[in-house]
Structure 1
Amino acid sequence: MHADVRLTHVGGPTVLIEVAGWRLLTDPTFDPAGRTYAFGWGTSSRKLAGPAVAADALGPVDAVLLTHDHHGDNLDEAGRRLLPAAGAVVTTVPGARRLGGGATGLAPWASTTLEGRGRPSIEVTATPCRHGPPLSRPIVGDVVGFALRWEGQRHGALWISGDTVLYGGVRQVAGRVKVGLAVLHLGGVRFPVTGPVRYTMTARDAVTLLGEVRPHTVVPVHYEGWKHFQQPRPVIEREFAAAPRDVRDRIRWLPIGTPTDLET
């Protein structure tokens, strides 16, 4: 039996994933617009847009897939308040220690399984990320992506890239995971204090990575709603328009706040 998936892009990195009775939430960010958040080492950003779906309208959440807990554009105060009510929280190993409360920490390529009565089990595998230039991990902290596998996927796993630059670790996904649906964190993040250094993928990086991973469908996220994004949607669209056809034909922009059915 095929199990298609419904995605709702709430805004930023926050996506509600509904499949086969499961409701999974990525990187909960539900604070209103206007606040400036410090990210450490002199970096900060202002939130420009609030969530398209309010936290109290979200409904029950079976699991939170948290790529990292220590940046306010991936977990803010309102998002943090949602965690105790979630059935499970899966994140990085250091993040699980910080959060406590039974959160599950995964190192890259480690896995855990979500199980629920009357629903197919979902295998969650952490995938590598590096949230900045070489040797930046001690400063920017650990981040992971997630590959989700369940029975009935037609094209392959659902992969959430997490906040990462293009480097050898994330490129391992191409050889280790057959990806059906890729939720790709973009935005080409830079900060004035660190000049030209990038902290997430540019659209050009994404084209390179997608040519290797070759997912059936690609959903861009985490490119809007914050001042530190250097590549909003129009910039990304121009780069994708110049990409090889077998890449650009896979891109699917989701209307923010609107549930959208996709194949996996």
Structure 2
Amino acid sequence: MSDLRLTHIGGPTALIETGGWRLLTDPTFDPPGQRYRFGWGTASHKSAGPALAASDLPPIDAVLLSHDQHGDNLDRTGRDVLRTAPTVLTTPAGARRLGRGAHGLAPWTVTRLHAPGRPTLTVTATPARHGPPLSRPLTGHVTGFALTWEGQQHGALWISGDTVLYGGAREVARRLAVGTALLHVGGVRFPITGPVRYTMTAAQAVHLCRLLRPRTAIPVHYEGWHHFHEGRDAIERELARAPADVRDRFRWLPTGTATDITA
């Protein structure tokens, strides 16, 4: 049985440990109370800090960065973390902006991480769309990641990235067997754009899990920011209406605590 340990640090940020590898998703380590602009008249305040400080992290082998253009997925301290990581995987546009050896992956591009004495990690970039149709010129490009390695029993570890439920996310369900899904939820919206959502709502996450049928679905990216409009309570209300075979797949991780997951 494959070992997998996840630590939800806060927001979209999680530490993934398996087979001697340590990977970090979307590093956000700034303290709360700051305001961040996202462009086109949108902005938000950070209301909660990370459960672990950047200085508390173990050495990181790679960062999986869904996108670099928004401060709730890569903040100022997170950029310092990037500079310490040997490998940064992100979107092609993000890699061009970041430089410093960041590797850009187009959707369905595959790369592999190798190290002596460790299993090879296969990383597949998966489609993501950070808003409604035609929103990419405003929100920029985003990617998800699917991780596979020898010994997995239940399928890939999939990190959705900031995405709504759309054809690309449904394609993941068709093309991949997913054992563990880290779902970026929160139903993000801004006053200036009214009811438009930029990440999955609770209802979308539940619907996607009906398609994916992962062994374990773990919500992230639902707390700590003012523009996250669907927190844990909203997700639990939606789960209460869901069929038991979907509801029982969801698992909440305590922030800052390493949790073992059957992979």
* Both proteins in one fold, TM over 0.5: yes
Q: Shift of residue 85 of structure 1? A: 1.2
Task: Report whether the alignment pairs 1:168 with 2:178.
Answer: no
Deviations 1:83-128 (A, max 9, x none): 1211200000000000101111001111111111110010000111
Q: Could you say what secondary structure the match of 2:254 adopts?
A: coil
Deviations 1:12-53 (A, max 9, x none): 000000001000000000000000100000001100000000
Q: Could you say what secondary structure the match of 1:258 adopts?
A: coil
Corresponding residue of 1:257: 256
Q: Distance in 2 between matches of 1:76 and 1:36?
A: 11
Deviations 1:47-92 (A, max 9, x none): 0000000000112000000000000000000000011211200000
Query: Which amino acid counterpart does residue 175 of structure 1 have in structure 2?
Result: R
Task: Report whether the alignment pairs 1:47 with 2:64.
Answer: no
Matches within 5 A, 1:58-207: 58-207=57-206
Q: Shift of residue 241 of structure 1? A: 1.3
Query: Which amino acid counterpart does residue 205 of structure 2 have in structure 1?
Result: A
Q: Distance in 2 between matches of 1:147 and 1:81?
A: 25
Q: Distance in 1 between matches of 2:104 and 2:243?
A: 37
Q: Distance in 2 between matches of 1:20 and 1:172?
A: 28
Q: Shift of residue 263 of structure 1? A: 1.0
Corresponding residue of 1:227: 226
Q: Distance in 1 between matches of 2:48 and 2:79?
A: 18
Q: Distance in 2 between matches of 1:244 and 1:55?
A: 39
Q: Could you say what secondary structure the match of 2:180 adopts?
A: strand
Q: Could you say what secondary structure the match of 2:245 adopts?
A: helix
Corresponding residue of 1:11: 10
- Please give the TM-score of this superposition, normalised by the length of structure 1: 0.99
Task: Report whether the alignment pairs 1:239 with 2:238.
Answer: yes
Corresponding residue of 1:25: 24
Q: Distance in 2 between matches of 1:45 and 1:115?
A: 39
Unmatched segments (≥5 aa) in structure 2: none
Deviations 1:145-191 (A, max 9, x none): 00000000010000000000110011101111100000000000010
Q: How many pairs align? A: 263
Which 4+ runs in 1 deviate beyond 4 A? none
Q: Shift of residue 207 of structure 1? A: 1.1
Q: Could you say what secondary structure the match of 1:172 adopts?
A: helix
Query: Which amino acid counterpart does residue 57 of structure 1 have in structure 2?
Result: D
- Percent identical among aligned pairs is 68
Q: Could you say what secondary structure the match of 1:69 adopts?
A: coil
Query: Which amino acid counterpart does residue 29 of structure 1 have in structure 2?
Result: T
Q: Shift of residue 143 of structure 1? A: 0.1
Q: Distance in 1 between matches of 2:102 and 2:111?
A: 12
Q: Distance in 2 between matches of 1:51 and 1:174?
A: 31
Q: Could you say what secondary structure the match of 1:235 adopts?
A: helix
Query: Which amino acid counterpart does residue 106 of structure 2 have in structure 1?
Result: A
Q: Could you say what secondary structure the match of 2:233 adopts?
A: helix
